[in-house]
Amino acid sequence: MAGRYRLTSVETVESEGSWLFTARDQHGNDEEFFLVPCADEDRPPVEAWRNRCTHENQRLYREDVGAIVRDGGVVCPKHGSMFDSCSGYCDNGEAADTTLPGVEIDVDDGQVYLVDDDVTFLRAGPSRDDDDDGGPSSTSHLQL
């Protein structure tokens, strides 16, 4: 990716609690990432994390609820592990002692930009993959 790509505003992330986008990594894979507010005054007001728990292939951001954020942490909906919204680090549950992979963003004048040279922005929202748990999806069109 050359330069930077405007994703959304800090205000949108703060009002919605999280914001999802899809990008293509350097290997050609489409990956979901989500933005969450960060309350640490030494960091940007928003951080971006890969939309998968480090314990197993579980989405942290879901279209029906967004990312569950409590007490400054992103909660895994399957096992309850909590990842710090600002650092991505988890110190509890099944994912303890792991850190969410992130992508580099920049915040300028209230706008959030993707500036990571290893990914290319594709779209706001989820990937085209409707498979929620990483397992096989049904392609049957049988009608009874």
Flag whether 142 is in a domain.
no
* Interval 65-82 mean pLDDT: 94
Domains in the chain: how many in total? 1
Task: Let me know if 114 is exposed, middle or buried by CB neighbors in 10 A (0-12, 13-18, 19+).
Answer: buried
- Convert the pLDDT of each residue in 79-115 to its tens digit: 999 999 999 999 999 999 999 999 999 999 999 999 9
Domain CATH for 43: 2.102.10
Output the average pLDDT for the chain: 89
Residue 110 belongs to some domain of the structure: yes
23 with 31: CB under 8 angstroms?
A: yes
The residue range of the domain holding 26 is 5-66+101-117
Looking at the domain assignment, is residue 80 inside a domain? Answer: no
In a domain, 38, yes or no: yes
pLDDT value, residue 130: 52
Which residues are paired to 69 by β-bridges? Answer: 74
Q: How confident is the model at residue 133 (pLDDT cuts 50, 70, 90)?
A: very low
139: Cβ–Cβ under 8 A, 6 or more apart, which residues?
Answer: none
Backbone phi, psi, residue 94, to 5°: -65, -30
| CA distances in angstroms from 78 to 48, 120, 132, 142, listed in the order given | 20, 29, 12, 31
pLDDT above 90 coverage of the chain, percent: 83
